[in-house]
Structure 1
Amino acid sequence: MIPLSLPASSSACAPFVTRLGARSVNAPGESRLEKGGAESSLWSGQHGLLEVTHGAEELHGDVVLAEPSVGRVERLIRSGSDHNTLLVTEQCDQLCTMCSQPPKKSHTDRFDFFIEACLLADPNITIGISGGEPTLHMDRLLDMIETVTTKRPDLNFHILSNAQHFERYHVERLRQKLYRSVVWGIPLYSSDPATHDAIVGKPGAYERLLESFCHLFAGAARIELRTVLLSTNAPGLDRLAHFVTMNLPQIEQWSIMDLENAGFARTRFAELRFPLSEQFEEIASAFDRAILHGVPVKLFNAPLCHVPENYRHLAVASISDWKQRFAEACNACSVKNSCSGFFEWHPDELVEEVVPL
């Protein structure tokens, strides 16, 4: 597991963002390496000295948030990684039964730090935005997107949202050209309103979601539809596929995901989990229907050996590198490099149920 928070000390008095590894002399916002070893590294920049308890080689190019008062740095954007996500809030107005990031009531505004971090990022990357629910702070969120993409048009954003807070007055704003670099990842768990609302823990969420879809499509928003497979919604996946193909054909992708054993799901994993490898035939028709109607569909978080051969081309290596694991038997697999593997916290007994290909 790749550590994202590291012990550190700094001569600065307040938190600051810096890129470790200056690309030019006296580059603003960047820190140059003064001394590097296998277990610690010393950096200097406009905020003074920063010592991190981690080797310099793995940190070079990373954009970090240094917090001197608590003695740590947070790796906000890791150089060379395809899995960089900014957690902009832990507040949420839904209570999903399988939420991997249980919400909190409090909010710490770090948008200004995130703007700085994005401006220091490697070129031509996609930066994820998640929560909580980012659109609870809609104006701050959109201001950040607009500020960054105006100065760094090479960057793209992927924003996870429950889409409960889009209004008609957002349409013109979303129509701006700069929002073509933004994809909204939005969950829809069932074509049955009661089932969707029960999963997200919010009465009326389904109807409000459909209302937001109208505003988003009117604003030419790019949308990735996301469906987590659960024991409660998997039996209706083909009906959801019919709904999607008939009513939401504009989406860029439908991402169907295996369950993560984290957050609220951890204590109910056996109850909530849909046994994908054993019962794939129950959901295969949903993939078939999406493909038939030209809706791009992908399968996330599922090891290739758990998917029938005819559907493996749909499986994406989707699990972020910092929380990915493989079974020991996977070392003999010929397709390991293109496989999702498992979440670091997936039950050991299920991880061992692999069949090297």
Structure 2
Amino acid sequence: MELIGKITYDNTNLKENSILVIKDNDYEAFKEGFLGYIFEGKLLPEKLKSYLEKKKIYFIFGININRLESGDIVNLNSDKNSLKVLYKGNSTEQIILTTNQCNNNCIMCPDADGIRKTRHNADIDALIAAIKLMDSSTKFICITGGEPTLLKQDLFDILDTCTNSFNNAEFIMLTNGRTFHYENYTREFIKHSPNNMIIGIPLHSHRKEIHDDITRANGSYVQTVSGMKNLLKHKQLVEIRVVINKLNYLDLVNIAEMISTEFPNCHRVNFMAMEILGNAYMNLDEVWVDFEDFKEQLEKACMILLSKGIRSYIYNIPLCYIDKKFWSISKRSITEYKVRYGEECEGCKVKEKCGGFFFSTKKFKKLKGIGIV
């Protein structure tokens, strides 16, 4: 028995899909009418347990509730007496993970080959139920995978739910863009897409052979470029992402020139350093390039785009590895729990503005900050 619901500690907060959390052994706080119950206590009174089982009410017990907060959206499994937090209720940003499947297998992807081999799509009904429970005032929602467009109609159902559930959220969907090569799909996607949708697509090179070497998927360059042009033709917001690695860092200027010529009406361009996990870790010697080695190419590429009126940003690179005049376009982009700083960063006067290092990248490459004093 599994249940998707939103937790509360207030036994008077009786709402649809509410799951009541009961602390310690305070069983007097039990109140009928909730969809499910989470008990911190390990031994339920036999009368209460029998009542819940007889009524086939969802409940679990002996649960560590220290990190649970009212508003958290959870999956409660009565059969396994387990709990999984799906979305934090106090977050203004949410990530909707759709599938682990992808029709690319990028050499520097932070997911590993093995993840692609085991098919795992999200339980669409459960995912839609969770989306409906998210706060309608959520500010930012990222739809990602794997490759979300492989879900076909299920993705449209997710998009419809998002459109109906949120007031003024900004959406971004991360995709390799290949499916948008097909005109019919693109038109159908637009019908279901929320108004504030940005479509983030990686462009790995201005050369077909390099792009396909990085994706390890023949024909991916042609479909990705075609997909971006198709979306822009329909006036969609396309964010072009360039993940910097050893296979493309010497071509950053050429990539920028291509973008300014082929995609001058794109929404923005983000240059991004790698996260050393998954494929990127397995192929470390083939893909890793030091920040100092691509600094000049990166800054020239940004200048080309900015001079053409194309917004350009730098992600996942500490400020000490970027010329000061580019700090204004450098973003604190790494998810908080993944960020690491070194001891040498403690006295840095711009640390609070700096995005730091990916913890995995710092660990495997033993990176150090330069420190700005």
CA displacement, residues 32-89 of structure 1 (integer Å, 9 cap, x when unaligned): 442279xxxx999403334542414x63332223344555433332234455322211
Q: Of 14, 38, 41, which residue of structure 2 is paired with 1:26?
A: 14
Structure 2 SS opposite 1:333: coil
Tell me, in whole angstroms, the C-alpha distance in 1 between the residues paired with 2:321 and 2:92.
Answer: 24
Q: How does 1:1-357 map to 2 (within 5 A)?
A: 13-14=1-2, 16-21=3-8, 25-35=13-23, 45-49=34-38, 50=60, 52-56=63-67, 59-69=69-79, 72-81=82-91, 84-102=94-112, 103-122=116-135, 123-166=137-180, 167-176=182-191, 179-348=194-363, 350-357=366-373
Between Structure 1 and Structure 2, how many residues are aligned?
Answer: 339
Q: How far 1:20 moved relative to its partner?
A: 2.7
Q: For the residues of structure 2 that align with 1:135 and 1:177, how far apart are their CA atoms?
A: 13
The farther-off stretch of 42-51 and 73-82 is 42-51
Instruction: Name the SS of the counterpart of 1:347 in structure 2.
Output: helix
Shift of 1:252: 1.4
Q: Which amino acid aligns with 2:141?
A: I
Amino acid at match of 1:254: V
Q: How far apart, CA to CA, are the structure 1 residues paired with 2:16 and 2:99?
A: 27
Rounded Cα–Cα distance in structure 1 between residues aligned with 2:76 and 2:121: 16
Q: Secondary structure of 2:84's match? A: strand
Residue 344 of structure 1 and its aligned partner are, at CA, apart by 2.1
**Shift of residue 159 of structure 1?**
1.1
Cα distance in 2, alignment partners of residues 352 and 241 from structure 1: 29
- Answer yes or no: is the 8 Å Cα contact 2:273–2:315 preserved in 1: yes
Secondary structure in 2 aligned to 1:291? Answer: helix
Q: Which has the larger radius of gyration?
A: 2
Change (3 A) 1:179 1:221: farther
Q: 1:268 to 1:146 in 2, by over 3 A?
A: same
Q: What is the alpha-carbon distance in structure 2 between the residues aligned to residue 43 and residue 191 of structure 1? A: 63
Specify the code of the residue in structure 2 equivalent to 1:165: T
Letter in 2 for 1:112: D
- CA–CA separation in structure 1 for the residues paired with 2:214 and 2:92: 29
Q: Matches of 1:132 and 1:279 in 2, distance apart?
A: 28
Q: What's the % identity of the aligned pairs?
A: 23
Whether the aligned pair in 2 keeps the contact of 1:158 and 1:185 (CA below 8 Å) is yes
Deviations 1:110-163 (A, max 9, x none): 222222222222313212121111111121112111122123333332211111
Distance 1:239 1:69 in 2: 57
Q: Distance in 2 between matches of 1:197 and 1:64?
A: 40
TM-score, structure 2 as length reference:
0.82
Checking the alignment, whether the CA contact within 8 Å between 1:90 and 1:132 is kept in structure 2 is yes
- 1:66/1:319 Cα in 2 relative to 1: closer, same or farther (>3 Å)? farther
Q: CA deviation at 1:197?
A: 0.5
Worse-superposed segment, 187-196 or 127-136: 127-136
Query: Would you say the 8 A contact 2:20–2:36 is kept in 1?
Result: no
Partners of 1:327 and 1:354 within 8 A in 2 = no
Structure 1 pair 155/110, CA: closer, same or farther in 2 (3 Å)?
farther
Q: Residue type matched to 1:205 in 2?
A: S
| Paired residue type of 1:318 | S
3-state SS of 2:245 partner: coil
> RMSD of the alignment, in Å?
2.6
What's the CA shift for 1:175? 4.1
Q: Larger deviation: 44-53 or 324-333? A: 44-53
SS in 1 for 2:120: coil
Residue 355 of structure 1 aligns with an amino acid whose one-letter code is G
Does the C-alpha gap of structure 1 residues 199 and 26 become closer, same or farther in structure 2, counting only changes over 3 Å? same
TM-score (norm 1): 0.86
Bigger relative contact order, structure 1 or 2 (CA pairs below 8 A, ≥6 apart)? 1
Secondary structure of the structure 2 residue equivalent to 1:144:
helix
| One-letter amino acid of the structure 2 residue matched with residue 47 of structure 1 | G
